[in-house]
Amino acid sequence: MKIAETYSHLNGLEFLLVHKPELWSEVQNVIMEIDGDGCKTKISREKTMKGKLLYSPIDMNRLFKAKLEFLKWSESRVSYWVTKNEKIIRKTLTMPPDEQKKEIEEGGDTPIFSYNQTDFVKDRVAIEVQFGKYSFVAYDLFVKHLAFYVGDKIDVGIEILPMKSLQAQMSSGVAYYEGELYNVIRQGRGVPSVPLIIIGIEP
């Protein structure tokens, strides 16, 4: 595979190039090492593409996982407590989890444990490899990366997506770079409020 396009949101790429160039090199190398042809293993059952050989998201995810874990990128979680009270949520948002729970209980509400998990984090950089449905990308960009950034676990989030040219050779409903780039730009310059690098890949 190769990187066809990159978009730097809130100077995410510039930050990486200046402060962690070795991590950017790792990301580039992992993408180049993904054998796209070897991932063309899914036989379509969809009406419009019946019998056609498509790229398998499962196979591509498996390769990314193996290569990134070999380079010591690992799963990470951000835990927090929520409740129905908006004022308490605003008050506890930036507190450590233990303090959040205590504050919610002292406010007379029931604390509910929650967390965000991302598969690949290394040296305060998170990667999401997304070959799933459109809604998953929005969750990555506007919830997961943001939660890790607000929780002071990362400085930059990276989202790896197929270009439309690759997505057209996958099952229907898969998100693609051009569409998600539009969605981010449409929100305005500062939203989401986390530095990101959106990468579009193709064979």
**Contact between residue 166 and residue 203 where contact means Cβ atoms under 8 Å apart:** yes
What pLDDT sits at residue 45?
83
Tell me how far CA of residue 65 lies from CA of 18, 45, 99, 143, in angstroms: 26, 26, 34, 21
Residue by residue, DSSP assigns 122-174 as ETTEEEEE--SBHHHHHHIIIIIHHHHHHTTS-SEEEEEEE-HHHHTTS-TTB
**Whole-angstrom Cα distance, residue 147 to residue 54?**
34
2-76+118-202 folds as Restriction Endonuclease (3.40.91)
- Domain coordinates in residue numbering, the chain: 2-76+118-202
Tens of pLDDT, residue by residue over 124-140, are 999 999 998 878 898 99
Q: What is the pLDDT of residues 55-95, one digit of tens each?
A: 999 999 999 999 999 999 999 988 899 999 999 999 998 89
Q: How far apart are CA 39 and CA 54, in angstroms?
A: 8
Which residues of the chain are modeled with pLDDT < 70? none
pTM over 0.85: yes
User: Whole-angstrom Cα distance, residue 126 to residue 89?
Assistant: 25
Q: How far apart are CA 180 and CA 141, in angstroms?
A: 10
Q: Is 34 helix (H, G, I), strand (E, B) or coil?
A: coil
